[in-house]
Chain A
Amino acid sequence: MTIIRANGLTFTYSGQLRPAIEEVHLSIEEGEFVLIAGPSGCGKTTLCRCLNGLIPHFYEGELKGDIFVTGLNVKDHSIRELARYVGMVFQNPENQLFALSVEKDVAFGLENLGLPRSEMMELIEWAMKAVGVYELRDKAPYELSGGQKQRVAIACVLAMKPKVLVLDEPTSSLDPFGARQVLEVVRKLNEELNMTVVLVEHRLDLAVKYATRAIVMNDGRIVLDGDPRDVLSSKEAISIGIDVPKVVKLYRALQEVGLTLSEVPIAAEEMVQLLQEVLKR
């Protein structure tokens, strides 16, 4: 089932001359884990904002083309309606937590939906356990590490049982350990709950092994779209300035000296395995 569909999506922020995204055609199936990469200012964040209605309802500007998420036309549905279907996690974990305890924060969205207390309790507990922050439920935001905060932010949107999880550079302010924990949680939600994931990420070294599909954007357009291995090992990816994982770089370097491995590796372990195969031959 197609869960996200964009046709000729173009958006220009008011006061800007050039569109931030231009003629974006995109179709994402349910259960996909889509990684979006691209240089700063290429329109990744703008695309994310279109997915839960922040564009056109929160940010002013001119929107052309159509975007449907879970069958709903984003133009015709408010952000608060779409919140039940699309969970949005932002870059800065600090500014998405408003309450004085983790538990209250996770409850925030459900309180807004007017859910009865018993139902809320169940969902909150489930969401906190799913991202591994149940033990932190009584902590205040300032008592948490960056990685913990970001996982709480995920729990906050997860409690609303969305179909799609959109994460806009969720690890950019985290240390590698915190980043890995956050991405592991996202992978788990994708695999175990079949949740569709759209992840904007700069740390490709960490993120690419979780993705089932990679999209590279440049100048507001989608320039590459496909299997992460093919996308990242392509010449364009490097020329655009994507931070291609080191193993992929090594793969390309080996290719240049005449050694072509049977597959493009995206994790160090895979590279080791491929090299061992070659050595045996």
Chain B
Amino acid sequence: MSFLDVLEGLRFKKASSPIHKLDPRVKFALALSLSTLALAFKELLALIALFTAHVPLILLGGVIRQWARMMKGASLFAFFIFLTNFLFIHFHPGYAALSPTFVLPISMALRFLTIVGAFSCFFLTTSPDDLGLALERHLVPFTKWLIERVPRLKGAIDPYGLCFAFIASVRFIPTMVEEATSIVDAQRARGLELDRGGLLKRIRGYVPILIPMVINALRRSDELAEAMESRAWGAVKERTSLYELRLKKGDAIVMALTALAFAIAVYVRISIPIPL
């Protein structure tokens, strides 16, 4: 399995599910809460509960295959986390008293998988378009607020530009991948060897791939700027947006449930000792 396959576990695909329809901010809050709690607990039982808590979301969102792929990729790291913890407990006398030998290492690996899983779920079910909208919705007022307090920053931050950069970078990923493939093919046809020789030679092999890609990217940025200008980029101070994020009833319910569950978990963490 290659690195790109793992990244597949973060790539959004258009679909319609209750999870896809949720407001991106609610989903982000959900992923953030899960991750925070995963960091707050070190007991195995709690972490099992947290890990299982995000599985229904994956199932409802219908992204189980991509998620599984991500998990497969992450399991290698999880194994290393397990191994390091296990070795430490065994060979470091001070630790052994802390917990039974296997439990803590497994918890730590599970903690990592919970965080990765929660954010994988977020990225798999949130369209970059929605992400950009959420970014714009909050970045613009935030910049305004910031400039009011620090007038020196006026003109230094362009929130619309930042949002555009984010959307455009997502939009051009498939284009760049296609371009990279054709450059690799072209250079191979000229005798470039990419999968032979030692590490250094392989790295050097990628130079003839990178140079055309960088040049293409520079040329593209020029053409993009030209096209943006031609379509009145920056004509008015306050750009409008075709779509606006609105919290719906479902969003409010999920948000309330998340907050409630989070509060309960915090209470448990503080006042109820967990056996394992």
Contact = CB atoms under 8 A, between A and B. Distances in A.
Interface of A: 52, 54, 57-58, 79-81, 83-84, 87-88, 90, 92, 94-101, 103-104, 107-117, 120-121, 124, 138, 140-142, 156-157, 160
Contacts of A58: 225-226, 229
Interface stretch (B30-38, B64-72, B88-96, B237-245): B237-245
A57 B174 CA distance: 32
A156 to B, nearest CB: 6
Contacts of A111: 239-242
Nearest to B12: A100
Contacts of A94: 175
B8 to A, nearest CB: 16
Given A80-B232, A121-B242, 15 more contacts: A80-B229, A83-B231, A87-B230, A98-B228, A100-B127, A100-B167, A104-B129, A110-B242, A111-B241, A114-B237, A115-B240, A117-B241, A117-B244, A141-B171, A141-B175
B236 A100 contact: no
Interface string B195-217: 00000000000000000000000
Nearest to A124: B242
8 contacts: A90-B223, A96-B224, A107-B242, A110-B242, A115-B240, A116-B240, A117-B242, A157-B230
Contacts of B170: 100
B129 A98 contact: no
Interface in B161-186: 164, 167-168, 170-171, 174-175, 178
Nearest to B133: A104
B272 interface: no
Contacts of A104: 129, 242-243
B128 A100 contact: yes
B224 A92 contact: no
B239 to A, nearest CB: 5
A74 to B, nearest CB: 13
B230 A54 contact: yes
A117 B242 CA distance: 6
A84 B237 CA distance: 17
B20 to A, nearest CB: 13
A107 B129 CA distance: 13
A80 B234 contact: yes
A79 B229 contact: yes
Contacts of A92: 223
B247 interface: no
Interface in B66-118: none
Nearest to B227: A96
A87 B232 CA distance: 10
Contacts of B171: 97-100, 140-141
Interface of B: 14, 127-129, 164, 167-168, 170-171, 174-175, 178, 220, 223-244
Contacts of B220: 95
Nearest to A92: B223
A114 B235 CA distance: 8
A114 B229 contact: no
B231 A160 contact: yes
Contacts of A90: 223, 226-227, 230
Given A80-B235, A83-B230, A113-B235, A98 B168 contact: yes
Contacts of B167: 98-100
A112 B128 contact: no
By Cβ-Cβ distance, the 8 closest A-B pairs, closest first, are A114-B236, A83-B232, A107-B242, A109-B231, A95-B223, A80-B235, A142-B174, A96-B227
Nearest to A106: B242
Given A98-B168, A98-B224, A81 B235 contact: yes
Contacts of B243: 104
Contacts of B225: 58
Most B Cβ at <10 Å: residue of A96, A112, A116, A157: A112
A99 B132 CA distance: 10
B240 A117 contact: yes
A115 B223 CA distance: 25
Contacts of A121: 242
Contacts of A110: 240, 242
Contacts of A160: 231-232
Contact of A142 (B175, B230, B241): B175
A114 B231 contact: no
Nearest to B130: A100
Q: Which of B175, B178, B233 has the most CB of A within 10 A?
A: B233
Contacts of A52: 230
